[in-house]
Chains A and B, each alone.
Chain A
Amino acid sequence: MLYTELLGVLLFFLASFVLAIPLGKYIARVYAGEKTLLDPIFNPIERTFFRLSGIDASRQMNWKQHLLALLTINMIWFLLAMFILMNQSWLPLNPDGNPNMSADLAFNTSISFIVNCNLQHYSGESGVSYFSQIFALMFLQFVSAATGMAAAAVLFNAMKERISDKLGNFYDYFVKSATRILLPLCVIVSVILLFRGTPMTWEGKDSIITMEGDTVQVSRGPAAAFVAIKHVGTNGGGFFGVNSAHPFENPDYFTNIVEMIAQTIIPFAMIFALGFYLKRKRLSWMIFSVMTLGFALLVIPTIISEVQGNPAIDAMHVDQSLGAMEGKEIRFGAAASAYWSIITTVISTGSVNAMHDSTMPVSGLTQLLSMMVNAIYGGCGVGVLNFYIFIILGVFISGLMVGRTPEFMGKKIEAREVKIAMIVALFHTFLILGGTALAAFIFTLHPDIGWLNNPGFHGFSEMLYEYTSSSANNGSGFEGLGDNTPWWNISTGIILLLSRFIPIIGPIAIAGILANKKYIPESAGTLKTDTGTFGLMVFAVMVIITALSFFPALTLGPIAEYFSLYSF
């Protein structure tokens, strides 16, 4: 029994890995503008896109123009989403008669979907209409993922070995990411889901009488199309309240495999795409290995602690051989749920197939750490951007150690770049710890405020998790937190905005500045960045920054809970 569960976990990883390499090659070709198989379909479609919107997709942009275009279009999406969510009650496709969102909830939800986070302070069944799901939220899932990927494409372009400020066209990268990469994958995934039981209907709730004679309702909706992009775009926002734990959203073990691969494949592929694009495959392998090392260190203890189960339930002398099953589904089992909880937190998907709030303290710790590091695989496009920051810091520190001006890809890294990198790295820490400290302070003033579903250390973890998830643009939650209040909606909304755009602006600025610098060909004295030694260096930088920043907060939450639950 346990053996088939572990075999399943192995399959998730290997299948994603094997599929990601050819996809990475394809992505590199798309961004380099080379010929691909899908050209005959997408060339005319994209030409129509650009002609109708009056965009010259061949105009080269420098890094500032890229960021301007990116931020402008994101602002328009925000206004659009706010309008739809606050008027959904009278807009079409609302068979269940769901009400308008309040202003603070709409603010949080719009931002959360624009920044690819998908923190959900509403519940899909009762909080949004089908119109909002499809025309606001699902639309944002496509375009936010494409935004992240376009930003990564700019980075790829800037890392070329030459001197230039011409870094391609933002709209070109953006549209191609959505049409050529996201869309085909979504069609495949949603068709598989359809035939395994995920609904795709415009009909509202059904009413049935159960075998015991109770009358219950069953929520349905156009879920299959939505669930596909939710994973392919590493968005994570579920159609139904409990996300991929819902038996319609993730009907069986096979769909679980498909959804797992769907969310893993683009983040994996982007790493390989970088190598194919720059013709530096060793660099890709270095990055992938460092990330996989980090991933293994997080996922293995999680699986062990979930499979072992809750010691407090062991003390009741029942059969806990299935593992810790509170908040988990039988069709996935403890091992697959544990694996998913780490994939979804490292990759910033934030979809869940089990409730993280009910996982063991070790798992809570690893889930939090995954989002605190926030540079292992990472979300659609932005994973590479986040890791780039750590590379810059790694190069800088190694340069200091050997007493030479640090260089990366033939460009000198100087004070300005390192300052930007350090601001980006520390801002993440500041947002998480600052937010949690404020919330904890308010809670101590008003202990009866009704936020927390659990007392003690675990309650603190619920608050810490919410801000960590926001700042990592992840979107999963310790869902016991009563988070649909103005405080949580507005404070996390602001953190989401900052934590999305600073880590996009920072790396693009660094890469843009470097692209314009003098190119120094590699020599015997150059620090090699595609070696195992340098990989370990970057890994050490990640570990040190994370440990120094977050150890005290983690001690108050999951670590304290661990020592209270396990008696020695």
Chain B
Amino acid sequence: MKEHILPAIKLSLICILFFSGIYTSLIWGIAQFSPNQGKGFVVKDRDHIYYENIGQAFYSDQYFWSRPSAVSYNAAGSCGSNKGPSNADYLALVQSRIDTFMVHNPGIKKFDIPVDLITASGSGLDPHISPEAARIQVKRIANKRHLTEEKINNVVNECIEKPFLGLFGPEKVNVLRLNLKLEQL
């Protein structure tokens, strides 16, 4: 073992220098040419700056709501609920989300509520909702903002992001972009 110790220490230090030092610097150097220099994609709205990929909590009736979150959309951390599918407390929580949603959205049918609006995301920071989750909120927002449902629906349709290359994965809507568009109406 003795004969291996010194070479192993030296080799480890060189590997740290190379993989942690040089490789990281190389990627950081390339990041300087990427959008916003690798500090996360941002959306600018007048004097406000938001992160495009980090979801925000929306709870006013005038905005499209995001999904429930285990960290209330504070991206200082990230967490899912980690509730198991058979957990009774969890199922009661989901039921209460349905009830709350029904109160705030009179006139919609319960079996139209898409599951993403009543379940917490994995990261607690999910920036997206499904197109169905956006559409079901149109009526409430139209009433609140005194606009026609058609107008709001158009905003939703503009914001739907198609599957990757039109072929792979689900459709989705970025809630932040959707609400920013809504404010411009």
A interface residues, Cβ below 8 angstroms from B = 1, 4-5, 7-8, 11, 45, 48-49, 52-55, 68-69, 72-73, 76-77, 80, 123, 125-126, 134-135, 138-139, 142-143, 171, 175, 178-179, 183, 186-187, 190-191, 194-195, 197, 199-203, 205-206, 208-212, 214, 216-220, 222, 224-225, 228-229, 240-242, 245-248, 251-254, 256-257, 309-310, 312-313, 316-333, 336-337, 352-355, 357-361, 453-459, 461, 478-480, 561, 564-565
Contact = CB atoms under 8 A, between A and B. Distances in A.
B82 A357 contact: yes
Interface residues of B, number: 99
A281 B158 CA distance: 52
B153 interface: no
Nearest to A77: B12
Given A210-B50, A325-B119, A333-B169, A54 B38 contact: no
Given A53-B11, A211-B50, A318 B30 contact: no
Q: Which of B11, B98, B129 has the most CB of A within 10 A?
A: B11
A312 B88 CA distance: 10
27 contacts: A4-B168, A4-B170, A52-B10, A72-B8, A77-B12, A183-B23, A187-B27, A199-B38, A200-B38, A201-B37, A208-B48, A210-B56, A211-B63, A212-B56, A212-B58, A242-B78, A247-B53, A256-B169, A326-B83, A327-B120, A331-B169, A358-B122, A453-B83, A454-B90, A457-B86, A478-B82, A565-B85
Interface in B1-49: 1, 4-12, 14-16, 18-20, 23-24, 26-28, 30-31, 34-35, 37-41, 48-49
Contacts of B40: 197, 199, 201, 206, 218, 220, 248
A49 B14 contact: yes
B122 A200 contact: no
A98 to B, nearest CB: 12
A11 to B, nearest CB: 6
Given A125-B77, A458-B87, A330 B116 contact: yes
A142 B67 CA distance: 36
Nearest to B9: A76
A329 B123 contact: yes
A53 B14 contact: yes
Contacts of B58: 211-212
B82 A358 contact: yes
Contact of B4 (A68, A126, A317, A480): A68
Given A1-B171, A352-B122, 19 more contacts: A4-B163, A178-B15, A183-B19, A194-B38, A197-B53, A208-B49, A217-B76, A218-B75, A246-B123, A246-B125, A316-B94, A317-B110, A318-B98, A318-B110, A318-B114, A322-B116, A327-B122, A329-B126, A358-B84
